[in-house]
Each structure stands twice: as structure tokens, then as C-alpha cells.
Amino acid sequence: MTGIEIKSPLLPLYLTRVNQSKLEQQEIMKTTNNKPLFPLGQTVATPGALELLETIGRTPSEFISKHQSGDWGDLCDEDRQTNDAALKHGSRIFSSYNLNDDQKLWIITESDRSSTCVLLPSEY
């Protein structure tokens, strides 16, 4: 995956832009039969998240698609309800996906929908 690394003075992370073409996004939505519920803004991923996904043969796009279509992953009912309310009221949206026994992937979309970050919990 090609990308642009961004160093932000506000975050102690290096973020890599996740490049998704409109065609790729449309194909993902067709195969999952899900419709986007909210804009993602600038989509970025941490190197740790990208490395883990590559190691297990998965892509950021499949999880971003789930997140954007309301599949919040492995959350408790209270957190799911918080996300559902965030769709109406413009709060932050959080998803968590268990990738295997001890590894999780988080996706966070900011309340103003300006950006979405794919990261590992240890990188938060």
C-alpha cells in the first residue's frame, strides 16, 4: 500500500494516509451491501495497524467499510448505543474489531467528521 506519512505535533504518532479510490469504495459497498452512514473525512492509519493487517492478510478498507456502515465490531451495548446516538448528534464514532485472541483494531471518526483513524489500542 502506498501512502503519505504525516507527522503531527499534536499526536505522538506517525500516520499513514489510507488511499482509497472512489471505485474501490464503491466495490466494497457493493460486496458488503452496506451504505455509508457518515463521511469519514481524511482517512489515516498508524504504521502499527497497517503492519498488523498486512501480517494477517486483511486490509484497512474492509474494516473502514464496516465502521462507516454501522458495524461497530466488538463493542458492548452501551458503546453501540453511543455510536448510534453519535450518528444523529454528531459525536465521535468508535469501532473495535477483535482480529485474533489478543489483537484488536480500533477505528475512530472525529465528531466533526474531518478525519478517521485506524489504529491499535496501544497507539491511542
pLDDT in tens, 49-94: 999 999 999 999 999 999 999 999 999 999 999 999 999 999 999 9
**So what's the pLDDT on residue 16?**
52
Rg (alpha carbons) of the chain, rounded to whole number:
14
Structural domain range at position 21: 5-123
**So what's the pLDDT on residue 35?**
83
Report the domain count for the chain.
Answer: 1
pLDDT > 80? residue 31: no
The CB-side HSE value for 2 (13 A sphere, CA atoms) comes to: 1
**So what's the pLDDT on residue 26?**
47
